[in-house]
Chain A
């Protein structure tokens, strides 16, 4: 009975300073749909990258057996050669090439003289499209298709490579209900044809609906593998596996004295910049002075999109809704207007969007409020140094001087520079998007201490985080976000990781 197509035995993968996977084992039976779930950053994607050869053999410890043979993949081509194909969350299609060209990219159908035989390619592509249930002409450019159809093209591409094991990373995250339905149906069909699938997903109802087994990963370790055949395993049971961890992170003590309301957002609705779907759907929330409010949501729930659209409409289109500061409605149509109104937003990805990595601490700290240091357009360089120096001391930024280049600092110190920059704009409300992502425990504690100091000084703070213990440790109230909608609001006293996770995975209730 135990016919394993894939066995991964005690995989350990370390990055400098971080153990991403520790002694992870995974056994997948031939012909099943195997789900993998876990919180953001639990190690799911890393595990799949080990499996598909993105991290080549030798860069990790442990063994991979595929079809009973020990595999040492040197790259993604090797794993594809034996029939393992991974479809990433960000689709890897070339938008300007046709469906057929995409399907056979790197695997071209050659005819006489080594030239591509387009008739053969298009005919084969048409067959593949039929098998995935996509009714499109193979010469249509991929960019003209919606995300759901692009996903099907990816699967067709995998089928063209004689796939035996198909890995899908969050396949339905960007899809609407109909497209998700179709995709899941297709996975069932593939299963009947004998193709094994591994599906990484946050959507627990989908997992319980179509998978045979589910493996839960937490903090880089395998927690358990549950069989879904008996029908006893519920979404709640999976949630317990995902979050049931010991509290190994610590949070500084804070007394909470919320004051007047500072920021209130009503009916905030944002459309995706290119696709026709709502990313934020009539969200309303508020935050008071001296209060830390959390926003919890899984990947793709619209957390960052919500924050960025509020911060001077930096994301999305067709934005509607109202923003109130201190009870008065304000307009914040550009970033500089938002800053003027007292809103600050520290981004999720500090390297890409938060810092000028080739500049020093001094110039990064002053970047958002240069006007405060200038008279008639001329910057007072010495005053600037003083401001940066003050931040360096109060934030405990570990660097030889404020002239140190920010790109060379550690993650925690970079984050302190980001916070310094926003504090120098003297905001009333700070929106911190994943403020402790990628920084170590000690620096996390310092960031929490800084947040506490800010609210003690009467600032309002909104924290967006994937880590539920973190939100429970530092917030007063927590909103949950799922598919762009606020699905709940709980005070930290009543909230538990389980109750939040249930709200975060709550699907839209069927209409009518």
Chain B
């Protein structure tokens, strides 16, 4: 075999080659890059701000009043909790239609134990969570180990768990819960540190949150610089922290002028942070994205696909139970029809928040913003006295447009390849 001089290895790269150091510490192009890098994500934030502003104008500022902001948090918290689990399910390329029924079943379990049997309130919560985990394990088993599509498994679950709810409740509503249980959804931390008409504790938590955000952002920044990674310019970093800080403090200020810090908001915040980190930084979370992005490639990379799918559904069951506790606490009882159609709100939140129909894409924060968009719209239209039928039409159209935007984006990305 003749071995000769190589030809010029001059493959044209698909994108212009930029030395990484050139982007280091430069800020001017960063902002545009920040926006354009993920239009799908940033588009959602822009849409959210626009919708908030729109309804603030349409309702003459009522939608931003302290009382109303508190209301939105209380009213939609359980949907947001469900959306956290749902976005993970959707990233892996599945769907869960049963969460509404699971909310009902877990709430009913808790109500039977606490209201009917007179057991302490915390027994009800633990039992509800246990039922949620069991439901998740059941569905995870069928999806992951038997290989039934999640659509079918959870459609069956929707009927199954609704039926079990009716059985458990014996077809009647139960109420009321003891006051401690009610506090989960309608309790506030107020006046712990005093304050004249405003709650100092809420403001303090707001300050702590902003400080924590700034600190962790700064630490990430330092680490990235240590690893010689491009970072945004320092002024831009400060601007970002200030912007987030202003929004958070405005929010805290409004809450402090209403009833204080809702307990359910604390629960929600803990879940969002925990799941944000899990999806981003844990091996499990990363395998979820890998499975959704390319199942075959993930399998051939040694990802234990079955185990990951199983735990995704166990987790969804757990979060459904958390939502079930919050909902039963908020409605101060358990009803056979509780949680009806919640799955659709949770699914809509995930998709509006940028999750891809084909899997592999989506974020917890995106799903939260998606959920809030739905919440602000529903709430705003209620304030305006828009008819329920119109509300439904508008929500349906928003969901359709959001996914159409996603599909359009993907097609454009595909053609530029």
Contact = CB atoms under 8 A, between A and B. Distances in A.
A binds B: yes
Interface in A342-401: 345, 347, 352-359, 363, 366-368, 370-371, 374, 377-379, 381-383, 385-386, 389, 398-401
Interface string B212-228: 00000000000110111
B17 interface: yes
Given A377-B282, A378-B281, A408-B15, A335 B3 contact: no
B16 to A, nearest CB: 7
A347 B301 CA distance: 11
A334 B10 CA distance: 39
Looking at A334, A356, A408, the one whose CB has the most chain B CB atoms below 10 A away is A356
Given A400-B16, A404-B15, A442-B9, A345 B1 contact: no
A336 B304 CA distance: 8
Contact of A359 (B8, B284, B293, B414): B293
A407 interface: yes
A324 interface: no
Interface string B327-350: 000000000000000000000000
Nearest to A474: B1
B18 interface: yes
A339 interface: yes
B281 A381 contact: yes
A173 B21 CA distance: 53
Nearest to A370: B283
B229 interface: yes
Contact of B301 (A367, A383, A385): A367
B202 interface: no
A353 to B, nearest CB: 5
Interface string A320-342: 00000000000000111011000
Contacts of A412: 11
Interface stretch (A33-41, A116-124, A246-254): A246-254
Interface in B1-46: 1-18, 20, 23
Contacts of A336: 302-304
Contact of B298 (A250, A356, A379, A383): A356
A443 B286 CA distance: 30
Nearest to B226: A382
A353 B7 contact: no
B287 A370 contact: yes
B6 A250 contact: yes
A137 interface: no
Contacts of B226: 382
Contacts of B298: 356, 367
B285 to A, nearest CB: 8
A356 B297 contact: yes
B229 A385 contact: yes
Given A356-B294, A408-B417, A445-B6, A378 B282 contact: yes
Contacts of B5: 250
Contacts of A250: 3-7
A352 B297 CA distance: 7
A441 B7 contact: yes
A413 interface: yes
A357 B293 contact: yes
A370 B286 contact: yes
A413 B11 contact: yes
A445 B223 contact: no
B290 interface: yes
Contacts of B16: 400
B360 A359 contact: yes
A357 B294 contact: yes
Contact of B297 (A355, A381, A383, A439): A355
Nearest to A492: B1
A311 interface: yes
B416 interface: yes
B153 to A, nearest CB: 23
B289 interface: yes
B284 A442 contact: no
A303 interface: no
A353 B302 contact: no
Contacts of B18: 400-401
B11 A353 contact: no
Contact of B13 (A253, A371, A413, A446): A413
Given A358-B360, A382-B227, A400 B300 contact: no
A421 B301 contact: yes
B293 A379 contact: no
Nearest to A422: B301
A440 B11 contact: yes
B180 to A, nearest CB: 34
B1 A442 contact: no
A409 interface: yes
A274 B212 CA distance: 57
Contact of B296 (A352, A399, A400, A443): A352
A363 B293 CA distance: 11
A253 B280 CA distance: 44
B300 A410 contact: no
Given A356-B294, A356-B298, A445-B7, A399 B304 contact: no
Given A363-B286, A363-B289, A379-B282, A358 B13 contact: no
B1 A400 contact: no
A83 interface: no
A314 B299 contact: yes
A409 B17 CA distance: 12
B368 interface: no
B15 A473 contact: no
Contacts of B224: 382, 385
Interface in B251-304: 280-284, 286-287, 289-290, 293-294, 296-304
Interface of B: 1-18, 20, 23, 223-224, 226-230, 280-284, 286-287, 289-290, 293-294, 296-304, 356, 360-361, 413-414, 416-417
* Interchain residue pairs A-B with the least CB separation, the first 9: A398-B13, A356-B293, A336-B302, A442-B9, A368-B301, A335-B302, A382-B227, A356-B294, A353-B296
Given A353-B294, A398-B17, A441-B7, 15 more contacts: A250-B4, A253-B3, A314-B299, A352-B297, A356-B297, A359-B289, A367-B298, A370-B287, A386-B227, A389-B20, A399-B14, A400-B20, A413-B11, A446-B11, A473-B1
13 contacts: A347-B300, A352-B297, A363-B290, A368-B301, A368-B302, A377-B282, A377-B283, A377-B284, A386-B227, A398-B11, A399-B13, A412-B11, A442-B8
